[in-house]
Amino acid sequence: MVKRDLSKKVKPRAVRKRQRRTRFGREFYLWIAAGVTLIVFAIWFFYSDVFRVGLIEVRIETENSVVFSNERDILSETDEVMSRRILGALPGKNILFIPKKKVASVILDGSFSIENVAVAREGWNTVSVVAKERTIYGAWCERGFAQDKNDSREDTAPDTDLNYLSKPLCYYIDEGGFAFAGKNPQDPLGVSVINFVGETRGGLPGGSVLEAADFGRVRDFIEGVRGMGFEPISVYIDGANYFELSLKDRDNPLETQKNGRIIADFSRDISIQLQNLDLIRLEKKIAPNESDWGIILDYIDVRFEDKVYYKMKQK
């Protein structure tokens, strides 16, 4: 037997359709209102001064007798990074969107004298940047470089103590052996002195200071290597008076993979060593590249007048 409840009113299809349209209309306008509210809030959030960085504080921590970094430069770099637009459209300097890693990276790339950077928010709208300088343990300096032409005083300071700070051209060495750039604060010409910086290891020849003649030969060799298409990324000096340049292969001058080293002796004739390297580069006598043999260049030794040694190693 089939029963039917006649007390229930069955809604006609037209009524149900009208109700669906009405409900959809209400939800549509509700979503529109929510979207407009969100856009207004976002505009207020990113453009209001309430959420914008009001102050950037820069502090340099150092154990050196001279501060090599410049607070104004760090402040300018920080301000430039934080002012960049968020997602390419929204204004920067928002207190809740501080690009800490990017700020630290730009500051470290801009100054070899800074060892690490800490970026943090202090209070509601203040950003604190603390830069810690490397501690100096030694230096390689060249006497008389970029001296004021009107200054007739001779440089008579000894090369064995902290008087190297009075010299205008130096590579400063920290405890870990990293050489970084320095500009003499007392230099009236304000000359930026660094031609090359990188890592160092081992002892320094002749004590804590590299003499001017040796310094010049090292610099000449580095520039000669660069002129052949190699890009040195670090330099090593030990008590045997030779140095190694780790290579970043720009134009593939030897048809080998990058990170090879060049071993030279700056106590000997640099021009002959450069000629030896140039012959190897022109004749391309180094073994085939990694893709063929699974090996890469370890080093090229150009210290000897009549021979050039090189070594390949497994990847």
According to DSSP, the β-strands at 178-183 and 198-199 are: antiparallel
Q: Which domain holds residue 82?
A: 55-133
Confidence of residue 57 (pLDDT cuts 50, 70, 90): very high
Q: Is the pLDDT of residue 118 over 90?
A: yes
Q: Which of 171-175, 201-205, 236-240 has the highest mean pLDDT?
A: 171-175
Query: What total number of domains does the chain contain?
Result: 2
The DSSP string of 245-270 is: EEEEESS-TTSS-S--EEEEETTS-H
Give the pLDDT score at 202. Answer: 46
Distance of CA 185 to the CA centre of its chain: 23
Amino acid letter, 232 = P
Average pLDDT, the chain: 66
Does one domain contain both 103 and 208?
Answer: no
Does one domain contain both 168 and 105?
Answer: no
Q: Is the pLDDT of residue 184 over 60?
A: no
How far apart, in Å, do the first and last CA atoms of the chain sit? 87
Does one domain contain both 94 and 222?
Answer: no
Does one domain contain both 122 and 183?
Answer: no
Q: Which residues pair with 173 in a beta bridge?
A: 138, 179
CATH number at residue 80: 3.10.20.310
Q: What is the pTM of this model?
A: 0.47
CB atoms within 10 A of CB 239: 10
Task: Give, in order, the Cα–Cα distances in Å from 92 to each of 87, 88, 105, 248, 277.
Answer: 9, 9, 18, 36, 50
According to DSSP, the β-strands at 295-301 and 309-314 are: antiparallel
Give the pLDDT score at 153. Answer: 33
Is residue 10 assigned to a domain?
Answer: no
Last residue of some domain: 133, 168, 190? 133
Does one domain contain both 126 and 258?
Answer: no
Is residue 227 assigned to a domain?
Answer: yes
Does one domain contain both 102 and 119?
Answer: yes
Q: Is the pLDDT of residue 130 over 90?
A: yes
Residue-wise pLDDT for 194-229, tens only, equals 333 344 444 444 444 445 555 667 777 777 887 887
Does one domain contain both 113 and 256?
Answer: no
Give the pLDDT score at 166. Answer: 42
Give the pLDDT score at 230. Answer: 74
Taking each continuous run of H as one helix and of E as one strand, the counts in the chain are 6, 12
Does one domain contain both 212 and 290?
Answer: yes
Residue-wise pLDDT for 1-30, tens only, equals 555 555 555 556 665 666 666 666 667 778
Sheet with strand 242-249: strands edge to edge = 230-237, 242-249, 261-265, 295-301, 309-314
Is residue 170 assigned to a domain?
Answer: yes
Is residue 15 assigned to a domain?
Answer: no
Is residue 39 assigned to a domain?
Answer: no
Is residue 211 assigned to a domain?
Answer: yes
Does one domain contain both 197 and 118?
Answer: no
Task: Give, in order, the Cα–Cα distances in Å from 171 to each of 31, 184, 195, 213, 239.
Answer: 64, 11, 10, 15, 17
At CB < 8 A and 24+ separation, what contacts does 111-114 make?
111/68, 111/69, 111/73, 111/74, 111/181, 112/178, 112/179, 112/180, 112/181, 112/194, 112/197, 113/68, 113/69, 113/172, 113/180, 113/181, 113/182, 114/69
Q: Which two tokens stand for residue 87?
A: 């997602």
Does one domain contain both 201 and 280?
Answer: yes
Is 36 exposed, middle or buried, given 0-12, 13-18 or 19+ CB atoms closer than 10 A?
A: exposed
Does one domain contain both 263 and 165?
Answer: yes
Give the pLDDT score at 237. Answer: 55
Q: Is the pLDDT of residue 274 over 50?
A: yes
Is residue 184 assigned to a domain?
Answer: yes
Does one domain contain both 198 and 76?
Answer: no
Q: Which residues pair with 237 in a beta bridge?
A: 243
Which of 220, 263, 214 is closest to 243 using CA atoms? Answer: 263
- Which residue matches tokens 């149900």? 16
CATH number at residue 245: 3.40.50
Is residue 248 assigned to a domain?
Answer: yes
